[in-house]
Structure 1
Amino acid sequence: METAAGVEACLPIRSDRDLVWVRQHVRQAAARLGFGLVDQTKLVTAASELARNTLVHGGGGRMTAQAVTGRRAPGLRLEFRDEGPGIADLDRALTDGYTSKGGLGMGLGGARRLVHEFAVESEPGVGTTVTVTSWTVRPPRPREEF
């Protein structure tokens, strides 16, 4: 796996100020890797939602960013980790409109739609890790047959 200068980072998420740093780092890293403006915005939006979830629901944690190289293109992998209460019902938490703290309920499901790869590991009482990856080139869509 190759890395790009200035892309790898581990940033704390302990306050609203840290959310700003996360968004700035993700935007700069995506630009360095060659993401177009629309894809940068999608990735920053997903990162913002996940970082806020880490702070609000997990009590804080960290984001790790890493450049990755796929078969067709470079990408950016982001991992959001907390040691909070975990997610008791992951399927429900991924459902649009579900909220446990009075928000809009678009965080996890919305973030999942904005990236190419999405994975969640959560254990009640232990914490949650959300890993997302986006590529500079969109994967080909399956051909539709008529």
Structure 2
Amino acid sequence: MTEQLAIRTSEDVVRVRQRVRTLAVEAGLSLVDQTKIVTAASEIARNTLDYGGGGHVVAELMPPPRRGVRLTFVDSGPGIPNIDEALRDGFTTGNGLGLGLGGAKRLSSEFAIDSAPGQGTRIMIARWK
């Protein structure tokens, strides 16, 4: 099952978080793993809105044998000039703690990022059962 959710407002970030929770339950993830993927999704959705100017997420409930949730966030924002630096704890271009991208990576079973200045950002996170 695949669906696309818009990320244009703070309310959309809440909707993404709620939908990811539902998908994690449907995938049979443990409560701890549900919390991990929801937290990571919330952070990336917020970044998509705040830094990417909005975008969308493609949410997938993955069937056996690879049971889990895969999320691909896409924006057409300014991009990330230095991905390694952005993943480092403490780095921020805003008012946050600088734990977002690195934290989301640690909370995910899989994490991939593709970004370049002027080309937007695509981040895939997944949590497997």
TM-score of the superposition, structure 2-length normalised?
0.96
Q: Which residue number in structure 1 is paired with residue 3 of structure 2?
A: 9
Structure 1 position 98 matched with structure 2 position 91: yes
Q: Which residue number in structure 2 is paired with residue 119 of structure 1?
A: 112
Q: Deviations over 1:49-100 (max 9, x none)?
A: 00000000000000110122465x4011100000000000111000000000
What letter matches 1:42 in structure 2? K
What letter matches 2:121 in structure 1? T
Q: Which residue number in structure 2 is paired with residue 74 of structure 1?
A: 67
Q: Which residue number in structure 1 is paired with residue 34 of structure 2?
A: 40
Residue aligned with 1:120, SS: strand
Summarize the alignment of residues 52-71 of structure 1 with structure 2, pairs less than 5 Å apart. Answer: 52-69=46-63, 71=65
Q: What is the alpha-carbon distance in structure 2 between the residues aligned to residue 87 and residue 25 of structure 1?
A: 27
Q: Which residue number in structure 1 is paired with residue 102 of structure 2?
A: 109
What letter matches 2:40 in structure 1? A
What letter matches 2:98 in structure 1? G
Q: What percentage of aligned pairs have identical amino acids?
A: 53
Runs of 4+ off more than 6 Å: none
Residue aligned with 2:59, SS: strand
Runs (5+) with no aligned partner, structure 1: 137-146
User: Which of 1 and 2 has greater Rg?
Assistant: 1
Q: What is the alpha-carbon distance in structure 2 between the residues aligned to residue 69 and residue 95 of structure 1?
A: 33
Residue aligned with 2:14, SS: helix
Q: What is the alpha-carbon distance in structure 2 between the residues aligned to residue 70 and residue 9 of structure 1?
A: 18
What letter matches 2:24 in structure 1? A
What is the number of residues matched between the two proteins? 129
TM-score of the superposition, structure 1-length normalised?
0.85
What letter matches 2:48 in structure 1? T
Cα RMSD for the two superposed structures: 1.1
- The structure that is helix-richer by fraction is 2
Q: What is the alpha-carbon distance in structure 2 between the residues aligned to residue 132 and residue 70 of structure 1?
A: 18
